[in-house]
Amino acid sequence: MQESRKLAIIVFADIAGYSAMMQADEVQALAVLDRFKSILEEEMQRHEGQIIQYYGDGCLLSFDSAFLSLRAAISLQSQFIKQQVPVRIGMHLGDVLYKNNNAFGDGVNIASRIESLGVPGAVLLSKTVRNQVKNKAELTLSSVGSFHFKNIAEPMEVFAVSEPGFIVPSAGQMQGKLKAVVEPEPTPQEQGDWEKYQMLEILDALEENKCVLILGNYAFSKPLATTDFSEREISVPDLLLREQHKWIGKHPADSPPDFYTSAQSLVDRAGGQRMFMDLAKIKLQELGMRQLNRFKQISEIPFDLILSTYPFDLIHEVFEENQINHQYGYYSYLQESTPLDTFTKDYPLVYNLFGSVRHKESMVITLDRLYQFIFGILGVRQLPKLIQDKVQQASHLIFLGFSFDDWYMKLLLRVLKVHEKDISYAHPSKPSGPGKQNKRFFESNFKVTFLEKKIDEFVAGLHELCKEEDLLRTGNTNNPGSQYDDLLVLAEQNRLEEVMSRLDDLLIKDGKEGGLLQELGEYQHNFHQIKEWENYNSLSKEELETKWEDLSKSLSLFIDRVAAAVPA
């Protein structure tokens, strides 16, 4: 066994794209390989080099002189170019171990990596080789940059022969055996600066009416039964999961629980629908200071469209409590949605994507209903065009309180065409965010940016920015009777369903006016009767107009009686 070690120049040369050549035309590929070997053997006899080993479509060469090795490489590449053999050449000077007709060591590894950067028609060499030959006037060499090769500790500068006829590869052409770039973790100061600019982008989008807020189930929570209601809370999905474990047993380990599997488990049992309603329906008076402040601030931030995946009316109730003029609507996968008026920052829309508790058959609270919702919204029963247009025109979508590890998130984001947005921001339900694989999926396929702030930090920060820019919405708190004035205006505008919905809330909250509630029920019955006549063309246009006008007048008189009986 012969073994020796010495300082030497190692040259690697291989045919670029040889595998593709073999697949396209095996005979032609073998002819190219024969020319490659013939040129190598002829040139090596002339330049005092040694062929250490052939390996497939490549070859490892060794030289004792840097100048002779470079001159040989230039001569070789000239012949390859002339005879149309697409060859890459790379070389390095280092300590080499020769053993069993082969060569080993860092010099060999680095030469291989330099060669992998190359393109046909190029000769690349390390800075070590360049320093040995730089005083030779007849050679022109150009730096092509520094590279961090795999398994090599320090970055290395690489040079290319830039003689006429030779290729000097650009940065974009060099795709060799490089170490994956690992960016340093940002400092807290850098992270804070970055988040500041992200928030300013959202502020700009709000000012331009190009920002939509979408609330997930984890944005809604109840205070835990402790003395400090403002601090400890439990989200609706976690609350459902806790009850599911109590009454049904734990979910199978191989099927991670989410909002819908937990809700389905409850609803499928006798009494489960009532239990779900009791657990998930959050009332304003039940909220702690943290939750109250969260939703009050959301109502004041000038979103002109807020979409909720929570089928209850908490956001709508907060807007009413804050006396902010708005319209409210919901999607039903069973029937066409009520037509909407144009919404603006001064007249925003709060819209429940997954149905309304007022119409229990519309609520999306189980897996079966989620499938129906998806099939409906992708098929014949589209979202109202005003909402479709708004989401499509928005530059920024903000997802607050979603679990991005839930399977249906991909479908929901596709339905909302998030993949067409420039920027979407998300505040996942877990402080750690989604799993790494899911995070990469949403970042690459939907351009979602996951922000590090907690939900309340984000809402408070955006609220403060809007306050500084004098953009916050304000309610009609200075005029106690204004909500009844607003209702009269809505009645004159024939927005009768909204009028009746708000009257229903007022009378239920008061809890003392049974007679007025019964009368309101009669108006609601009349409203649906007229809608049915309208849908089935049972009445002429003139008869319908008369019916609507009579109902509007009756409701205006009724609003006055409610205002007298129920103080604002």
Is a pLDDT exceeding 60 seen at residue 97? yes
User: pTM to 2 decimals?
Assistant: 0.56
Domain span at residue 502 reads 482-565
- State the Cα–Cα distance between residues 431 and 426, nearest whole angstrom: 12
Identify whether 449 is part of a domain. yes
Domain contains 178: no
Q: What is the mean pLDDT of residues 96-105?
A: 80
Out of 426, 442, 468, a domain closes at 468
> What is the model's pLDDT at position 11?
92
For 5-21, the pLDDT digits (tens) are 888 899 999 888 887 78
472: pLDDT strictly greater than 80? yes
What tens digit of pLDDT does each residue of 254-281 get?
A: 445 567 777 877 787 888 888 888 888 8
Same domain, 292 and 419: yes
Domain boundary among 441, 468, 495: 468
> How many C-beta atoms lie closer than 10 Å to residue 33's C-beta?
18
pLDDT reported for residue 91:
92
Residue 184 in domain? no
Residues 116 and 212 in one domain: no
Q: How far apart are CA 413 and CA 74, in angstroms?
A: 56
Which CATH number goes with the domain that contains 98? 3.30.70.1230
The pLDDT assigned to 213 comes to 93
Instruction: Kindly state whether residue 181 falls inside one of the protein's structural domains.
Output: no
Regarding whether 88 and 215 lie in a shared domain, the answer is no
- Please report, rounded to a whole number, the percentage of residues in the chain having pLDDT higher than 70: 86
- Give the list of residues 6+ apart from residue 114 with CB closer than 8 angstroms, or none: 12, 90, 91, 92, 124, 125, 126, 149, 156, 158, 176
343 lies in the same domain as 447: yes
Q: How far apart are CA 303 and CA 72, in angstroms?
A: 70
Give residue-wise pLDDT tens across range 331-382. 887 777 677 888 888 899 999 988 888 788 888 888 888 888 877 777 767 8
Residue range 151-164: average pLDDT?
Answer: 81
Q: Does one domain contain both 401 and 263? A: yes
Quick one: 40 exposed, middle or buried, by C-beta within 10 A (0-12, 13-18, 19+)?
buried
Q: How confident is the model at residue 1 (pLDDT cuts 50, 70, 90)?
A: very low
Pick the more confident residue, 559 or 566. Answer: 559
Verify that 417 and 546 share a domain, yes or no.
no
Give the C-alpha separation, 210 to 391, whole Å. 8
In this predicted structure, the answer to whether residue 64 has a pLDDT above a threshold of 60 is: yes
Tell whether 340 and 437 lie within a shared domain.
Answer: yes
Residue 179 lies in a domain: no
Residue 309 domain flag: yes
Give how many domains the chain has, as a whole number: 3
Residue 323 pLDDT > 90: no
Within a domain: residue 258? Answer: yes
Residue 407 has pLDDT above 50, yes or no: yes
Which comes out higher in pLDDT, residue 445 or 496?
Answer: 496
The overall average pLDDT reported for the chain is 81
Answer whether residue 138 shows pLDDT above 60: yes
pLDDT the model gives residue 428: 60
Are residues 168 and 196 part of one domain?
Answer: no
Q: Which of 129, 145, 173 is the last residue of a domain?
A: 173
pLDDT of residue 252: 46
Residues 486, 389 share a domain:
no
Neighbours of 7 (CB within 10 A): 10
Question: What is the pLDDT confidence band of residue 480, given thresholds at 50, 70 and 90?
Answer: very low
- Give a yes or no: residue 537 inside a domain: yes
Q: Are 115 and 242 within one domain?
A: no
Contact 114, 91 (CB under 8 A): yes
146 and 206, same domain (yes or no): no
What tens digit of pLDDT does each residue of 429-448 get?
565 567 777 777 777 777 77
Predicted confidence at residue 479, as pLDDT, reads 46
The pLDDT assigned to 253 comes to 46
Residue 143, SS3 per DSSP: strand
Same domain for 351 and 447?
Answer: yes
